[in-house]
Structure 1
Amino acid sequence: MIPNQIVAHQQSKVLELGYEDGRSFHLPFEFLRVYSPSAEVQGHGPGQETLQTGKRDVVIMQIEPVGHYAIKPSFSDGHDSGLFTWEYLLHLAENQKQLWAEYLLKLNAHGVERDALMGSSKDSHSCGSH
């Protein structure tokens, strides 16, 4: 399903997605940055994910459309390699509560704080073994 409205609210740091069926979702920029579909975040296979930290204050500087299937946000921390397909955005929107809870559990399991600088722990927040 393709959103018919995409608005980046800089003040509240949320991306608003509106759909023709009347549904709308508000995805925090931090959430989108943490769940970027890029290889930098997700790795190139299972167990290669890099746990993202220190993203609470990140903002989306620009959003570029990619064909008719995705958007490519550019974040204030320099990250701009994630292509968020319409399908992936809807998945994030519909599962936001569960995904955020999983993220917080991963932080806890790795003994890192949400606001820790990236690379500040001994294992660089890797979620799997290399």
Structure 2
Amino acid sequence: MAGLDKDTPLPTAITLHRKSRVLEIAFDDDSRFELPFEFLRVYSPSAEVRGHGAGQETLQLGKRDVDILNLEPVGNYAIKPTFSDGHDSGLYSWDYLYMLGRNQTEMWQDYLDRLAQAGGSRDPALTPPPAPKGGCASHRH
């Protein structure tokens, strides 16, 4: 399986809870995580969000109300969600989802801290419109 650590537990169930905007995922080691759509969107593994190396990440703003419109399997190793803001380039492998679940509390606090430092908001109405598309997002100033 591409990109999977051989020790990574495999999912036994993946459930989208649209009303509460939570992706519930159970693994074969009996762990179970509830990952809010906003958390998944903010920590998308795509190059658009993560950049091309450490320090190149793009802080995601105004994602509180983001929804997952579609969720498709990618081989036997990942899922690819389509978010309501049009973002659909993140491939969430089982090991990445497991890591998100295990580290959710710390990662969420880190996001809130970075958002506060940047003076950003989780609310779409308080977020400036995105810069025009074109080229790699990590090279915009």
Query: What residue number does 2:106 align with?
Result: 98
- The answer as to whether partners of 1:52 and 1:118 remain within 8 angstroms in 2 is no
* 1:69 aligned residue (77, 99, 106): 77
Secondary structure of the 1:68 match is coil
Query: What residue number does 1:107 align with?
Result: 115
- The answer as to whether partners of 2:79 and 2:92 remain within 8 angstroms in 1 is yes
Aligned partners of 1:40 and 1:84: how far apart in 2?
Answer: 14
Q: Structure 1-normalised TM-score?
A: 0.88
Which ranges of 4 or more aligned residues in structure 1 deviate by more than 6 Å? Answer: none
Structure 2 unaligned regions, length at least 5: 1-8, 131-136
Q: Structure 2-normalised TM-score?
A: 0.82
Query: What residue number does 1:123 align with?
Result: none
Query: What residue number does 2:127 align with?
Result: 117
Query: What residue number does 2:66 align with?
Result: 58
Secondary structure of the 2:64 match is coil
Secondary structure of the 1:4 match is strand
Residues 1:7 and 2:30 are matched in the alignment = no
* 1:32 aligned residue (25, 40, 46): 40
Q: CA-atom RMSD, angstroms? A: 2.2
Q: Per-residue CA shift, 1:33-64, capped at 9, x if unaligned?
A: 00000001001111111100111111111111
Letter in 2 for 1:117: T
Aligned partners of 1:61 and 1:25: how far apart in 2?
Answer: 20
